[in-house]
Amino acid sequence: MGARGAPSRRRQGGRRLRYLPTGSFPFLLLLLLLCIQLGGGQKKKENLLAEKVEQLMEWSSRRSIFRMNGDKFRKFIKAPPRNYSMIVMFTALQPQRQCSVCRQANEEYQILANSWRYSSAFCNKLFFSMVDYDEGTDVFQQLNMNSAPTFMHFPPKGRPKRADTFDLQRIGFAAEQLAKWIADRTDVHIRVFRPPNYSGTIALALLVSLVGGLLYLRRNNLEFIYNKTGWAMVSLCIVFAMTSGQMWNHIRGPPYAHKNPHNGQVSYIHGSSQAQFVAESHIILVLNAAITMGMVLLNEAATSKGDVGKRRIICLVGLGLVVFFFSFLLSIFRSKYHGYPYSDLDFE
């Protein structure tokens, strides 16, 4: 017989057993239920993620870029779980929107998505989608987006950062530039494959044929080949094209102009020194040509031996062209490169 108040212990078969307090059983039961619930929730997330990835892969098998409305955007992009990156082009392709830049950007975006879809590295870690304003107005409002086109990257975890929005105004929307940006954000490298374009080859063949035909017809009189004025005009055309930024346009693929979505005002001159519009290069080309024409007239007035009155008129016209258009050129230069001290000849 044990003493009263002694610890509750018994011996069975030479082993000592210690009984747990009766109050610990509800705690163990609660802990067990919690573990079961957490395991079930994790399993549910895994099943939901698998369903989402399976659906995205099915869409990608039919089309490299799938269109999304508000419900699909919230389900597959905003709502967790998600272990994939999503590139979204926010655009306005309906004819009534009259967004020519959107159509041009869509062509480059299609080339990029097709290059990824049919590459050997294609996997379920990156998808391409599109939200049109007329199909997902609520998405534009949710993201406080008021311009199109816009490219955004939605990472697998967390919210998009500032660098996850493509700087279209500065870089342009060429497929190669988009691929470089995607590689920086996702570490997925896409080699861009463009469909064959024979327009350049045909144009070159026509040019060669035209020159060859002209030389054949004039084979008995080829003095025009030694015409200095003709070669000077050809050289000036090449110089004007290069100095106006045509090569930059070809590489970067900028829009022709920019229309402000708030007031509808169209800008033909880009406000940054790191970018330009196609219309801006055309304006610079015309200004350079006018300034060159003025310099040619000044040279003609100084070197010719004709009538003095005529030479004076030519000189005044040439001087007017140089002063007016060079002043205009400096004003554009000043609006893009702030801080330069060329204000004396600014044209207002």
Tens digits of residue pLDDT in 161-201 = 999 999 887 888 889 999 999 999 999 999 998 877 777 78
Fold of 43-186: Glutaredoxin (3.40.30)
Asked if 319 contacts 334 with a C-beta cutoff of 8 angstroms, the reply is: no
Distance in angstroms (rounded) separating the CA atoms of residues 298 and 301: 5
Q: Which two tokens stand for residue 121?
A: 């590295």
The pLDDT score that the predictor gives to residue 6 is 45
Distance in angstroms (rounded) separating the CA atoms of residues 133 and 10: 78
Q: Which two tokens stand for residue 175?
A: 């497929």
The pLDDT score that the predictor gives to residue 336 is 80
The pLDDT score that the predictor gives to residue 13 is 45
CA distances from 236 to 155, 258, 289 (A): 49, 29, 8
The pLDDT score that the predictor gives to residue 23 is 56
Does an H or E element contain 215, and which? helix 199-217
Task: Write the pLDDT tens digit of every residue in 225-234.
Answer: 777 888 888 8
Torsion 93-97-100-102 (CA) sign: negative
pTM above 0.75, yes or no: no
Residue 75: which of 61, 59, 91, 97 has the closest Cα?
59
Q: Under DSSP, is residue 250 helix (H, G, I), strand (E, B) or coil? A: helix
The pLDDT score that the predictor gives to residue 228 is 82
Residues of the chain falling short of pLDDT 50: 1-15, 17, 20, 344-348
CA distances from 215 to 209, 229, 231, 235, 319 (A): 10, 18, 15, 20, 39
The pLDDT score that the predictor gives to residue 151 is 95
Q: Which two tokens stand for residue 22?
A: 């009766």
How far is it between the farthest Cα atoms of the chain? 145
Task: Write the pLDDT tens digit of every residue in 182-192.
Answer: 999 999 999 99
Asked if 287 contacts 329 with a C-beta cutoff of 8 angstroms, the reply is: yes
Where are the domains positioned within the chain?
A: 43-186, 197-222, 227-336
Q: DSSP assignment of 221-277, as one string?
A: --GGGG-HHHHHHHHHHHHHHHHTTHHHHHHH---S-EE-TTT--EESS-SSTT---
